[in-house]
Amino acid sequence: MVSRDLVVVGGGPAGYPVAGILARDGYNVALIEADKFGGECTNYGCVPTKSLLHTALTLADSKKLGFSYGELQVRSAFENALSVASTLSDGIRSVLERSGVKLVEGYGRVLPSGTVEVNGERIEAGKGVILATGSEPFIPPGIRVDGIRVHDNRSILGWEPDDSQSVIVVGGGYIGVEYSTIFSLLGYRVTLVEAMSRLLPGMDRDFSLLARRILAKLGVRVVLSSPVSQVRSESSGVRVLAGDKIFHGDIALIAIGRRPRNTEALRAGLPVNNRGFVTIGDCWRALGKFYAVGDIAGPPLLAHKAIHESIGLALCLKGDQFVRGQRPIPQVVYGLVDFVSVGVTLEEASRKGVNAVEVRVPAGGLARPRIHGVSDGFAKIVYDEESKRILGIHLAYPNASETAPAALLLVNRHTLSSALDVVFPHPTFSEVLQEAILASLGLHAHVSGVRMRRARKTE
């Protein structure tokens, strides 16, 4: 039996920040990871997909200038994505080691007593066990991922580009939309099949319309309102049954969603809700000396949310003041334009009983989007009509994911007038947000076609 102050189970974005912070503060911390340090985000999700997208966008721009690419470059794109992920994973390991964290590679079995078994050894946690076990791809019953013809977001990274020419993407959420963009830019015929009546069903409705229009320009065939019931791997490719429609392709990517990886939470006897997420209270405490943070503690299942919570948990355990509240968490979809949503939409504000106003400005008239040859996109501001406080910001233009002031304006409860104190550099993509703020006050200088909508509170 080995004793530690804290045992963190899971070395992804919910686990490694709290482990490193507390180890540097003098805690004796063990971090257990069954796969690769950095977790899903670094090794299979955020990082490699953005690397693939960066390569695909670069190749597409090169093609406009007369260059061409073939199978070798596509394979190189995947190899480069894995190399970037591996480098960052090694970097996280190095930082943790330098912080004094005891790294344990193996699968940790969490017992109700607060003891964790790993590699035939028991580690006793004196002050707490932190579950940061994350989530995993959701694969519906009847569909089998074989890693050859049928893939999930993990196995697709090991795919060896061959003579395949067509890809069927099942799921029109952020993973499906991003991979549809990547594959189409790399020269594949893509069919995107979504069960709901629109793409990106959890985001602003105008995002859905713009995403569909952009994908159509790329040649992606989008099929909506078609729940997939069967995906069959055959010798010549894949056969996908969606409603009464049948689709054939060379490979299929299942990107329907994710589910909590809660096996160890259940083994430890922690409370979970009907969706399988651990129920938590103040300071992310689940039960007794157990804490749960990141994806396992509930949606949104986003790496930046997990990192934020992990840092918050570290502050809690150190005794610093940190109130776990409902902070606005940006939702982002990456592509030719980034879709960023933080705060509420006009419809959500109305349902909450707020007299809200939405102002929308187009992005195409501003300098930086035009420099990059992009005419699509917009920025929206949703604000309270009486107080003029900003309630929601929704951005759709290149590199909108880098516009951190969007979240800061909501966190600091800015009004339209106080937001004027923010000086945006020129020429940048962030000026689209500035123009939306200005348009809300009738002060816009660079755009026309401003749209305004009002929604009254529902009774």
- Return the beta strands (E) in 315-389 as ranges: 331-333, 338-343, 356-362, 378-384
Look at residue 104 and give its three-state secondary structure: strand
The Cβ of residue 79 has, within 10 Å, a number of other Cβ atoms equal to: 11
Tokens of 313: 């948990």
Peptide bond into 427 cis (omega under 30): yes
- The catalytic residue among 151, 426, 444, 446 is 426
Please tell me the distance from the alpha carbon of residue 368 to that of residue 118, in angstroms, as a whole number: 52
Q: What angle do CA 447, 450, 453 make, to 5 degrees?
A: 160
* Alpha carbons 404 and 400: distance in angstroms, whole number: 9
Q: Which two tokens stand for residue 383?
A: 């604000």
In the structure encoding, which two tokens stand for residue 423, read together? 């000086």
Residues 6+ apart with CB under 8 A from 158: 147
**449: buried, middle or exposed (CB in 10 Å: 19+, 13-18, 0-12)?**
exposed
How many other CB atoms are found less than 10 A from the CB of residue 92? 21
Could you tell me what percentage of the chain is helix, strand and coil, using 3-state DSSP and rounding each to the nearest 5? 35, 25, 40
Show Cβ contacts of residue 40 under 8 Å, excluding neighbours closer than 6 positions: 12, 134, 135, 136, 303
In one-letter notation, the amino acid at residue 184 is: S
Q: How crowded is the C-beta side of 369, counted as CA atoms within 13 Å? A: 26
User: How far apart, in Å, are the Cα atoms of 300 and each of 86, 223, 306, 392?
Assistant: 26, 26, 9, 17
Helix (H) or strand (E) holding 166: strand 166-170
Q: Is 426 one of the annotated active-site residues of the chain?
A: yes
Strand intervals (E) in 235-294 = 237-242, 245-249, 251-254, 258-260, 285-287, 290-292
- Tell me the three state secondary structure of residue 56: helix
Sign of the Cα pseudo-torsion (240, 145, 217, 340, in order): positive
Catalytic residue numbers read: 426
